[in-house]
Amino acid sequence: MQIIHTIAQLRQIVASHKRAGKIIGFVPTMGNLHQGHLLLVEMALSQSDIVICSIFVNPLQFGEGEDFEHYPRTLQADADKLQQVGCDIVFAPAVEEIYPDSQGNGQDQSQVIVPGISDILEGAARPGHFTGVATVVAKLFNMVQPDKAVFGAKDYQQLQVIKRFVRELCFPVEILTHPIVRESNGLAMSSRNGYLSDTQKQQTGAIHQMLKDVSRQIKAGANNFEQLEQQAVESLNAQGFVTDYISIRAADLSPAMLTHKHLVVLAAAYLGTTRLLDNIQITL
Ligand code: PAF
């Protein structure tokens, strides 16, 4: 497995694989890899010839007062895990490589804005976050030139933002989705779960439980979505969470209507200072 840090070297290696007719699979990450990330890499491996995984903690997608400085940087451990699953190339650039000449971590340079969807739910709680995500993913796509890229379904809104700009800006990349990978108590795997204490970890199963309850009720015919959301918020708050939102939406995140056949229930809740995200998709 090669570990490279510069765009120039990456372009050279990618060009030689492309000349040989290889299909390039790509898994963008911010590192601190867990089992969920490794399953994304395995999915990429199963559908392409060469798999590139990027590890880059992107300053542009962190708001003021968020955990950019403290986000765990564990390159050696990540590289070991990637090697074990058979990843071919790790691209781990420095901030200056991705945002050269920037005086402000990319904010003073060209950005990819996906209107509407970037301002609701997570975007309302974290202004600028999805512009930061879309910008770095677009830049990475231009560097890696992948045929396919794999993202986890846990960050459902992020996935919709990426699918939108890929379609609207005509990126020739197929977006593949891996289902949410969960701990045995139902907690969706996330690098930020490392911020939770052992006691908190035991409480976290309640979110998935709540999502399953809401899904069951909708499948059984409940159609007062506002009431279902309100009850779910109350239930989580009663179990020690501070819930930001529980939202029942259409698959494209527009408001849910009774005629929709595909719905998604999205949840964001704090346990202590850790913000936990989860969702469940429903087909009626
Ligand atoms: O999901 C993540 O880890 C990040 O948002 C991503 C897609 C790697 C962009 O920095």
Residue 99: its pLDDT value, please?
A: 97
Active site residues: 37
Residue 30 CB less than 6 A away from ligand 1: yes
Residue 36 CB less than 6 A away from ligand 1: no
Query: Domain 191-279, CATH 2.40.50.140 — does that match?
Result: no
Residue 28: its pLDDT value, please?
A: 98
Choose among 214, 260, 255, 238: nearest CA to 121.
Answer: 255
> What are the domain boundaries of the chain?
2-178, 191-279
Q: Which atom of ligand 1 is nearest to the CA of 29?
A: 8
Choose among 179, 106, 101: nearest CA to 140.
Answer: 106
Question: Nearest residue CA, atom 5 of ligand 1?
Answer: 133
CB contact at 8 A, 207 and 267: yes
> Any idea what the Cα angle at residue 152 is, between residues 225 and 107, rounded to 5°?
95
**Cα of 216 from ligand 1 centre, angstroms:** 31
Residues 191-236: tens digit of each pLDDT: 999 999 999 999 999 999 999 999 999 999 999 999 999 999 999 9
Residues 98-113: tens digit of each pLDDT: 999 998 899 999 999 9
The helix/strand/coil state of 280 is strand
CB contact at 8 A, 248 and 229: yes
DSSP state of 195: G
CB contact at 8 A, 78 and 31: yes
Choose among 248, 237, 238: nearest CA to 270.
Answer: 237
The beta strand positions in 56-147, using DSSP E, are 89-91
The beta strand positions in 69-206, using DSSP E, are 89-91, 148-152, 174-178
Residue 93: its pLDDT value, please?
A: 98
Q: Which atom of ligand 1 is nearest to the CA of 137?
A: 9
**Cα 62 to chain center, whole Å?**
13
Residue 131 CB less than 6 A away from ligand 1: no
Residues 128-149: tens digit of each pLDDT: 999 999 999 999 999 999 999 9
CA atoms within 13 A on the CB side of 75: 12
CB contact at 8 A, 178 and 151: yes
User: What is the number of residues in the chain?
Assistant: 284
Residue 104: its pLDDT value, please?
A: 81
Order of strands, edge to edge, in the sheet holding 50-55?
Answer: 2-4, 89-91, 50-55, 24-29, 148-152, 174-178
Question: Nearest residue CA, atom 9 of ligand 1?
Answer: 133
Choose among 120, 113, 117, 38: nearest CA to 81.
Answer: 38
Residue 133 CB less than 6 A away from ligand 1: yes
Query: pTM above the 0.95 mark?
Result: yes
Our mutation pick for probing the ligand 1 site, out of 136, 163, 166, counting the most ligand atoms within 8 A of Cβ, is 136
Residue 47: its pLDDT value, please?
A: 98
Query: Domain 2-178, CATH 3.40.50.620 — does that match?
Result: yes
Cβ contacts of 275 within 8 Å, gap of 6 or more: 125, 192, 244, 268, 269
Residue with tokens 């340079």: 109
On average, the pLDDT of the chain sits at 97
Residue 58 CB less than 6 A away from ligand 1: yes
Low-confidence ranges of the chain (pLDDT < 50): none
